[in-house]
Structure 1
């Protein structure tokens, strides 16, 4: 049997020129009066893909999800689903279902009645409804809670009831609006993997809205980072993290150190002169030209911190300004002599605590020439 991990690694229809997108948004705009929530947005999502719309509150991601579900109509542009234009087609006639952030369960109904509600509305026979509800209860592991009311369940169990109800009608596309937002951290992490397994087993297309970068990175095959109604980058989690195309994406997804400067040729090697006496050597200019203003983005885990000056392409001295011990890693904020703060993270791979760097110690930070990515915008 193929493991989920290897399946996800090999799943990449967006890299196949012959693959046809299952969901296609063409120049979609949504205005509410003078406010533009979604601005001339184009996007493709493939069948069986777990796709995440990631962004801060107000960036337009939920509005986009509601347009996919038919709860809002675009002001302009087209939404195609499996080649069919969705203009004017109401939610109940679309092969999609939406799981709302609030779960929207009926408090007076039992778990099984909540799951059965949509099936009854569709006029399904009682025997078929009973069979489908039993399947859904087994799928989300809630067989023992079938007769309970929502208020008798935990947050995680209510989330599973909402998920089961959304899946009961067997939609081709499931839309999830911040589906794990009400769960505590540990349960949220467990449920992320459950959702991934469920999506793979059912062979459905999932489109999830979230502001949680870690959640998107964990679950999604691809992520669309949104800001002010526009998509800034669409890529796999690894590409979003390691190869952001803008300062906004680099800063929004994970922690980042950003060094601004001018690109120049330093005796045959590329470097970025930051105007403070430092020249950062780099391997790849990211398409920038010599003399152009650029930003070097370096992740904290790519930065080493030590007492002694290291042998490295880029090394700067400073003072330990802040320390965050997180158990599995320690994060250091090092204040350079010019006042800038550089963040470095170190994995705590041993239990040794002797000679650890502490507040106000002098220290060096260092990173390799290929550790960062050069950004032009």
Structure 2
């Protein structure tokens, strides 16, 4: 039997893929942001939650604020929603400064992590609540509720109460209630945090499809790196009320702007050292543990001989060998200290002579592996010169 939903998504994916692939208004000097944070500070007594922050978000962008608890990401969202006011600076939506405008008069809507559904109302009434409060005519409410139910695939559950729904279905009701008022911007605060891992992964792609089809601007707050990397057009990595880097997910991962970003996003190994030699396209780094040098491709940031640097190495870019290779300048040698089998990947923790633990990811591309590496085996780790990222701060 044909899976109608899967077929529909396959048809839609062609258009969605084209939109996401070509969408990059931040690269266009003539593009005008929809949302502008201009030198915004938010202070509570002696605690600065947001510190002189400037940020532009564009129409139809899926933008993600990513960072640890207390970094200021939720405060940024709440100021746009109208639940907080800036201590200094201003926030613009379109050409309008939003300070002083009450939340219910702003063209934004917010979906909370808790979903905040009314337990005594069925799905239809929960979704319609905002329209009823606004005095929208009954026939229009009925049409818009039916349309939104179809959009989030909840039509068969319209008469159920929240306690009769799964976690994923309750999440869809909350999303539908936020969407039905057709806001310019949808704010999502940890939107998938209450879902299990499998459902969360499925819902990430559904949210992406929905956002493209609606042509709406989504601003998401999360501490979940995978969630941000999968869904966002751009990610802003935050720390202590400031933004450390804004870029598309691939750039944040492959070209972190600082050690903080490299260590916060994904798994990374950091090798300390000093610049020993600077060439036209590569630099030679003397390792701080005294175990030789590394040859690393130059990035955009200039460096000089004697400068202290760190080399960031992603685990999946490292290769394990039993025998010492002779055809590469970049070798780290040690003993296998621990092993983690994840099904699709195996994680090896290799202890170097200095005591440092290096994490190596190996794809399990074959069902059976001859002579598998095991605990206490002596191994050698190699990597290409372009695999290392030089970090100067």
Give TM-score, length-normalised by structure 1.
Answer: 0.98
Q: Measure, in 2, the Cα distance between the counterparts of 1:179 and 1:324.
A: 30
Q: Do the aligned partners of 2:278 and 2:305 also contact (CA within 8 Å) in 1?
A: no
Q: Where in structure 1 do 4 or more consecutive aligned residues deviate above 6 Å?
A: none
Q: Measure, in 1, the Cα distance between the counterparts of 2:279 and 2:256.
A: 28
Aligned Cα RMSD in Å? 1.2
Choose 273-282 or 144-153, whichever is displaced more: 273-282
Q: Measure, in 2, the Cα distance between the counterparts of 1:194 and 1:267.
A: 47
Answering whether residue 47 of structure 2 is matched by residue 39 of structure 1, we say: no
Give the deviation of 1:267 after TM superposition.
Answer: 8.3
Match of 2:384 in 1: 368
Match of 1:334 in 2: 350
Q: Do the aligned partners of 2:313 and 2:389 also contact (CA within 8 Å) in 1?
A: yes
Answering whether residue 287 of structure 2 is matched by residue 287 of structure 1, we say: no
Match of 1:196 in 2: 208
Q: Measure, in 1, the Cα distance between the counterparts of 2:279 and 2:146.
A: 71
Give TM-score, length-normalised by structure 2.
Answer: 0.94
Q: Deviations over 1:262-296 (max 9, x none)?
A: 11217886211123222111121532222111111
Match of 1:313 in 2: 329
Answering whether residue 31 of structure 2 is matched by residue 16 of structure 1, we say: no
The answer for unaligned runs of 5 or more in structure 1 is none
- SS of alignment partner, residue 387 of structure 2: coil
Give the deviation of 1:352 after TM superposition.
Answer: 1.8
Q: Do the aligned partners of 2:333 and 2:352 also contact (CA within 8 Å) in 1?
A: yes
Match of 1:179 in 2: 191
CA 1:363–1:113: 2 relative to 1, 3 Å? same
Aligned length: 377
Give the deviation of 1:5 after TM superposition.
Answer: 2.2
Q: Measure, in 2, the Cα distance between the counterparts of 1:108 and 1:228.
A: 40
Answering whether residue 127 of structure 2 is matched by residue 111 of structure 1, we say: no
Q: What does residue range 295-310 of structure 1 map to in structure 2 within 5 Å?
A: 295-310=310-325
Choose 156-165 or 143-152, whichever is displaced more: 143-152
Q: Measure, in 2, the Cα distance between the counterparts of 1:266 and 1:17.
A: 34
Match of 1:241 in 2: 253
Q: Do the aligned partners of 2:16 and 2:213 also contact (CA within 8 Å) in 1?
A: no
Q: Measure, in 2, the Cα distance between the counterparts of 1:34 and 1:149.
A: 45
The answer for unaligned runs of 5 or more in structure 2 is 1-11
Q: Deviations over 1:57-84 (max 9, x none)?
A: 1111111111111111111110000111
Give the deviation of 1:3 after TM superposition.
Answer: 3.0
